[in-house]
Structure 1
Amino acid sequence: MFGILSAGIAPGLALLSYFYLKDQYESEPFSMVFKTFMSGAMLVFPIMFIQHVMETEHMIDSSFISAFLSSGMLEEFFKWFILFYTVYQHVNFDEPYDGIVYGVSVSLGFATVENILYLFALGIEHAVGRALLPVSSHALFGVIMGYYIGKVKFSATSRGKWLILSLFVPFLLHGTYDYILLTFKYWPYFMVPFMIFLWWLGMRKVKKARVLTIRQNQDAFKFEPPLNM
C-alpha cells in the first residue's frame, strides 16, 4: 500500500515542484499552492460520480462524446472554475506566471488522486506509464489554462478572448488526448507525437509567462519612487 501511495503521489509532486521553482521572482505561498492542490484533489470524486451517472443513463454512446464531453469538458471545466473563481481574485495572484503555478496545482491535485485510484485498481506496474502520460498531460493542461488565466488578469485588452481560450484550449487538448486512447488500436504511434507537441506548447507558454512576469517587475521597479535621502 505504501508503495502504491508513493508511486501515485511522486510524479505529481515532482512536476509541481518543477513548475513552482521556475517562478523567478516572488514565489507563491506554500499554503496557497497546497490549498489549490487539495481543491483539485477533491474534484475527483464528484467528477467520477457525474461520469458514472452519464454512463448509467447511457448519455455516452461514442468515443467522441466520452473523450470530449465526459473527460475533456467535464474535468477541465471544474478545474477552470476553481482557478477562476477562487484563485483569480486572491492577493497572491500578482504576476502572470502565478497563473501557471496555480493552474498546475489544481490540475496535479486532480491527477494525483486519480493516479492513486488507478494504481490501486490496476497495480503498481502501471506507475511509470501513468506518470509519463496522464499525470504529465494534466500538468500541461494546467500550464496552458494558467497561462491564459494570467493573460486575463494582466492584459489591458482582449480579456474576453483570453478567458475563452483558458477553458477552450485545455478542453480541446484533453479531449484529443482521450480520443487517441479510445479510438486508435495502435495509439502509441499517435500519442508520442501528441505528447511531444503538448510539452512543446506547455514550455512555450511557460517561457512567455516568465517574460511577461519579468517585464511587469521591471516596469514596477522603473516607476518605483526613489527613497528620500
Structure 2
Amino acid sequence: MMTNLFSIFDPSTNLFNLSLNWLSTFLGLCFIPYSFWMIPNRQFILWNLIINKLHLEFKNLLGPQSSSGSTFIFISLFSFILFNNFLGLFPYIFTSTSHLTISLSISLSMWLSFMFYGWINNTQHMFIHMIPQGTPSILMPFMVLIETISNIIRPGTLAVRLTANMIAGHLLLTLLSSTGINMPNYLVILLIFVQILLLTLEMAVAVIQSYVIAILSTLYSSEVN
C-alpha cells in the first residue's frame, strides 16, 4: 500500500545497494547503433529531420558569432531530457527528470560554464548586460541588483520548471488511477478515457519541457557572447 503520495518518485528498487531505477537514464544508449546502419530506418530519418530543424533554430538564436558545432550541445540536452521524460510514461520505469538531482545538475553545470566563459572572456560585455540601454542614473544600482538576482536564480528556475511539470502530471495520473478501485463499472470506462487523454497531454508536456529547457539554455548562452 502506498504510504506517501510522493513515494512513486522514490528510487527505491535496488540490488546490492545499487539503485537500479537510475539505470533507465542510460537506456538511450541502446538507440545509438541506429545511426550506423547502412540503410537508415524510418525512426532515424524522422530523428534526423528533427535534429536538422533544431540545429537551424539554435543557430539563429546563437547568432553568427557562435562557434561551429555549438548547437549540438543543446541538441544533446534536448535529446537527453526528451528521452527521459518519455521513459517515465512507461509502467515501472523511474522518471529521472522528476528529481532535482538530475535537473539541477544539468542546469547548474551549464549555467556555471556560461558564467565562467562570459566573465573570463567577455567581462566588459557582461557588465554592460547588467544595465539596459537608456536606464536613468538613479536606477542603475537597482537594475544591477535586479539583473544579478535574476541571473543567479536562472539554474533554479530551469530545474524547478522541469521537475514540477514532470511531478504534476504523474501525481495526477496516480491520483485518478487510485480512485478507480471504488468506482462502478460505467465510471471506470470514463476514468480510462480521461487517463488516456492525460497520458496524451503528458506526452506533449514531455516534448514541450525538453524544448523549453533547450531554448532557454540557448538564450542564456547567447547572452555571454
Identify the TM-score tier after normalising by the shorter chain.
0.3 to 0.5
TM-score (norm 1): 0.36
TM-score (norm 2): 0.36
